[in-house]
Structure 1
Amino acid sequence: MPVGVVMRRRPGVTRWARWDWRAVAVLPGARPADWQELRREGEVVEYHAATPILELHGAETEAYVHGLGADVPGVFVILRKGSGDRPLNVVRVTASPYEAQDYGDNGEDIVEKVPMPPGLAAWVQSFVEAYHQDQAFVKRRRDKARVDRVEDGKGDARIPQAADVYRSPAAARRRRLS
């Protein structure tokens, strides 16, 4: 589904940041746009910055369930620094909080959570109902092999005794000299 991203530009609060840019809304089913001005109130301006495609995948339904279960279900807008009159580029829009976390962890992207409109939430919910399958948690069982009987590679090879394998080589030399 094409989803328009609304960016808001406000005056910065410090002398080092002239403008504060935030993703504030999404427009489900929007037409393509390229930083089209939507509204202006004094120095605050809202732009329809871009219209990326929101894709849902059957393998990520658990993440969608997690996102829909939040106090305020959200869509995550992934942004990258731009240049000139376009300070941010919209890279992607996702409904998966897990994917958003992956983008946030790379250190190069900015991840903004935007409230999910009710119509979009209903669309994601219908997708989840059609494709989600609960996965039962299966605890991994240990192998029955006895690994405690062999001490290969344990301790320092310069110490010939098996009794004190953690003793330092200097302590072993002092014992042999005395």
Structure 2
Amino acid sequence: MPLGVVIRKTPGATRWAAWAWKAVAVLPGAGPADWRVLRSEGDVTEYHAATPTLELHGADTDAYVHGLAAQVPCIYVVLRATASTEGAPFEVLLVTASPYEAQDYCDSGEEIVEKVAMPEGLLAWVSEFVDTHHVEEEFKKRRRDRVDIDVVEDGVGDPRIHQMRDVFRSPALQRKGRMQ
């Protein structure tokens, strides 16, 4: 589903940042846009920055269930700052309904991830997808491997072997002339 991303530009709160930018809304089913001004009041301007496609995948339904269970279900907008001094200050990389995927982008520190509340129609669309494709997996407790921790590996750490390249060769095999 195409989602238009609305970004608001407001005056900066400090002398080091002239402007503050924030994703504030998504527009389900929006047409293509390239930083088109939607509204301007004084120093505050809202732009329809881009229209990326929201893709839902059957393998990610656990993440969607987690996101829908939040107090306010959200869409995550991933932005990357551009080097351009003229034109668009950010590139909209993607929109996702998966909080896990959004977390992956937060980990790198290269991108800006903004949470935007899901509109009702989009919430219904994602919920229907989850209802259709989600299969609850039964929890299976892993059993520990039965490994003998007292096993001595032949030749490892043996002070009688002097060459580093032969650390796995057994000294008993060296004496009998069965070297490989």
TM-score (norm 1): 0.84
Deviations 1:77-130 (A, max 9, x none): 000001222111100000000000001111111100000001100000000000
Task: Quote how far apart the aligned CAs of 1:158 are.
Answer: 4.5
Amino acid across the alignment from 1:90: V
Q: How many residues align?
A: 158
1:24-173 equivalences in 2 (<5 Å) = 24-82=24-82, 83=84, 84-144=86-146, 146-152=147-153, 157-158=158-159
User: Match of 1:12, SS?
Assistant: strand
Give the root-mean-square deviation of aligned CA atoms: 1.7
Amino acid across the alignment from 1:31: G
**Where do 5+ consecutive residues of structure 1 fail to align?**
160-178
TM-score (norm 2): 0.83
Identity %: 61
Deviations 1:21-51 (A, max 9, x none): 0000000010111111001110000000000
Amino acid across the alignment from 1:64: Y
Aligned to 1:21: 21
**Where do 5+ consecutive residues of structure 2 fail to align?**
161-180
Amino acid across the alignment from 1:100: A
Task: Quote how far apart the aligned CAs of 1:143 are.
Answer: 2.6
User: Match of 2:137, SS?
Assistant: coil
What stretches of structure 1 move > 4 A for 4+ residues in a row?
155-159
Aligned to 2:166: none
Deviations 1:51-80 (A, max 9, x none): 000000000001000000001100000000
